[in-house]
Amino acid sequence: MSMHVERWERYFLYASVAVLVAFFIAILASIGEAGIHLPTDEAQVDPNVVVTQAPFDNPGLFETGDNQYEAVMVARMWQWTPDEIVVPEGAEVTFTITSPDVIHGFLVNNTAINAMVIPGQITKVTQTFDEPGEYKFVCHEFCGLANEQVGHHSMFGKVVVE
Q: Which of 155, 158, 159, 161 binds ligand CUA (CB under 6 A)?
A: 155
Measured from the CB atom, the residue of 70 and 141 that comes closer to ligand CUA is 141
Bridge partner list, 73:
97
x-or-dash string of contact with ligand CUA, 76-115, rule CB under 6 A: --x-------------------------x-----------
Cβ atoms of 129 and 87 closer than 8 Å: yes
129-to-25, 42, 45, 112, 125 alpha-carbon distances in Å: 33, 27, 29, 11, 13
> What one-character-per-residue DSSP string does 95-124 give?
EEEE-SSS-EEEEETTSS-EEEE-TTB-EE
Q: Which of 139, 157, 158, 159 binds ligand CUA (CB under 6 A)?
A: 139
118 scored as a contact of ligand CUA (CB under 6 A)? no
70 scored as a contact of ligand CUA (CB under 6 A)? no
Give contact residues for ligand CUA (rule: CB under 6 A). Answer: 78, 104, 139, 141-143, 152, 155
